[in-house]
A and B are shown apart, each in its own frame.
Chain A
Amino acid sequence: MKRISIDPITRLEGHGKIEIFLDEQGNVANAYFQVPELRGFEAFCVGRMAEDMPNITNRICGVCPEAHHLASTKALDQLFGLTPPPAARKLRELLYMAFFVTDHTTHFYALGGPDFIIGPDAPSTERNILGVIRKVGLDIGKQVIACRARNHAVIKKLGGRAIHPAAGLPGGWSQPLSEAGRKEIEQAARENIDFALFTLKIFHDIVLKNPAYLELVTSDLYLHRTYYMGTVDPVDRVNFYDGMIRVVDPEGEEFVKYTPADYYQHLAERVEPWTYLKFPYLKKVGWQGLTDGAKSGLYVASPLSRLNVADGMATPKAQEHYEELFATFAPGYTTKGRRKPIHHRLATHWARLIELLYAAEHMLALATDPEITSPEVRLISSGVKNREGVGSVEAPRGTLTHHYTTDANGVLTKVNMIVGTTNNYGPMAMSIKRAAEKLIQGGKIIEKGLLNRVEMAFRLYDPCLSCATHALPGEGPMEVVIRDANGLVVRTITRGRQP
């Protein structure tokens, strides 16, 4: 079997690696991410006090500490047997909406958008936020930075600290919100809604009105018929902070709906010899390898999957755009009347912007909720009540689950986490394979565009393996090493250093 490796040039420890394996005919047999492991997180946590976890786990990732902080705090709610007062829950959600706005904004303008705004075949040195700003204008660039700044200020105000919030407590939140603070956040939320609508307009004008891009997005490039997962509220609408985990099958029928604490009954993790990262899959469907279809237990947890599992959005403007998304892809309806899922992976970029709008609208609803300034923000704990706690939220890149087990004194005896990106590890490998298949056939390798298409395949998932490892190629230089059947390097394709 021939092997093609896409490696970062530098031998940075912790970087992932993409490997493409060819069969004897020179066609793509398989494609994998290889991700080095961060060793011993469980051992590092065992023996510590459970209540330290929100501030430990928000340090395992520099990208979504807010998601870890909240999942961890929710796991503590269960361990300590405390239901947070309504204001505490709303403050947590308010912080989380500000986080989603900044995270999804950054993805569109700095990571996912450049492939469309600059073009999928443009040099990688131009496909970045700089290129976007040069194309769409300085004023929009300023708005992006302003959006990030105002939401960072909200996170700092509510979370007590910039970047790594510290306000989560079992049974509540460490500080109430003043009326002055509330007003500032309300203003930020209003600006976020305008910004989200404006960003969707850019997506419409640049992507949907361009026949070539519309064809790319709606083509079968990166199309996989898989199961989808996401959190839904009591009436099956998208919710980022809390709810039931709903899974739909590739035809769109509900496969299962469960409380996050039962994840272990529904998910299993497959260990493969060539990577440390485990592949989660649906236990009741089973593991069939890296393949799609109703018989393969692989599922996706992403912005698109959240929209696929839900029956709608909880806010009016986001609902309008949700309707438009499904009207554009027209997946149809099941015999039971449910919308069928959209399997086109590039639609994830659009779904992410609809979520951006939802987060902004929901942020405004929370900021104008009379209860949000209530001083009743925490219950006082009298020690652990339960020996097990599971906390789950929707991280921007997929369902995030923290599971802690303690002794009677609240000392951790076991820790398990399924992070957002990990859910998509198998599907990402499939998308990379699909991209490679288009460009490698019968031993003939079309070098031009290979790196870009492979990168687009994983970028649409907004992968962040910082929690499980440290970094992925994507911002760094990359190298394709083509090996013959004996493993000898016959050719090397290099993407130059980025500025």
Chain B
Amino acid sequence: MRTIVIGLGNPLLTDDGLGIKAAALLRQRLGGDSKVDVMEAYTGGLDLMELMVGYGRAVVVDAVTTGHHRPGTLVELGLDDLLASRNSNSTHHTSLAVALETGKLLGLELPETVLFLGIEAGAANEFSEILTAPVRKTLPLLVEQVLTALADEVAP
């Protein structure tokens, strides 16, 4: 079963660009892996769910603003607390959780598990193409975490 890794975010909004930068790094590292597709997206809800159709597993990377962690903290979210994810929910395209349930109800072939990894953002409401220092420092750790998760799947 194929895996999709989706980096979410807006590359123009400082730490919100985390997912896009993570996707670029992961694409380099996973270049030879024919079972993994890497995508960038700046969208949520139904759009995001539709990207996952046909995959057995999905990993989503996004900046998060839980307000409970220091900027730069690596965070794993469950589908219940995706509100902290900056991009998975959309006022127009509904939340990812509702979208996934909708897709399953309609019989779409969707991943059984969605791993959601993020980093607590420092600044994500200001225009810049550069991550803040705490998020930049954690980015390599996040990339390793994704790779570890993918390796676990390959060798159960």
Contacts and interface: CB of A to CB of B under 8 A. Distances in A.
Given A14-B124, A163-B47, A63 B101 contact: no
Contacts of B43: 62-63, 163
Given A59-B10, A133-B106, A474 B46 contact: no
Contact of B102 (A8, A56, A133, A466): A133
B89 A62 contact: no
Contact of B125 (A39, A63, A133, A142): A39
A60 B12 contact: yes
B50 interface: yes
B13 A38 contact: yes
Instruction: Report whether over half of chain A's contact residues are helix, strand or loop; otherwise say mixed.
Output: loop
B126 interface: yes
A180 B144 CA distance: 44
Contact of B93 (A110, A164, A463): A110
Contacts of B30: none
Contacts of B91: 63, 111, 463-466, 471-472, 474-475
B93 A10 contact: no
Interface string A118-157: 0000000000111001100010011001001100100000
A130 B98 contact: yes
Contact of A471 (B90, B94, B127, B128): B90
A499 B98 contact: yes
Given A38-B125, A41-B127, A59 B93 contact: no
A498 B95 contact: yes
Interface string A469-480: 111101111000
A152 B83 contact: no
Specify which of B99, B124, B127 lies most central, judged by the most chain A CB atoms within 10 Å of its CB.
B127
A107 B105 CA distance: 19
Contacts of A130: 98, 101-102, 105
Given A141-B102, A145-B50, A129 B42 contact: no
B92 A63 contact: yes
A475 B93 CA distance: 9
B21 interface: no
Interface string B105-141: 1111000000000000000111110000000000000
A106 interface: yes
Specify which of A40, A62, A469 lies most central, judged by the most chain B CB atoms within 10 Å of its CB.
A62
B105 A133 contact: yes
B3 interface: no
Chain B: interface residue count, which band?
35 or more
Contacts of A474: 91
Chain A: interface residue count, which band?
35 or more
A470 B10 CA distance: 10
A8 B67 CA distance: 13
Contacts of A60: 10, 12
A111 B65 contact: no
Nearest to A40: B127
A110 B89 contact: no
B12 A56 contact: yes
Contact of A111 (B94, B103, B106, B127): B94
19 contacts: A12-B65, A12-B67, A14-B124, A39-B127, A59-B10, A62-B42, A62-B87, A111-B92, A129-B94, A130-B101, A141-B105, A470-B125, A471-B90, A475-B89, A475-B90, A497-B83, A498-B98, A499-B95, A499-B97
Given A8-B83, A62-B43, 10 more contacts: A12-B83, A39-B127, A56-B12, A62-B44, A129-B94, A129-B99, A141-B102, A163-B47, A476-B95, A499-B98
> Which 7 pairs across A and B sit closest by C-beta, in order of nearness?
A44-B127, A62-B43, A62-B42, A63-B92, A11-B67, A474-B91, A141-B106
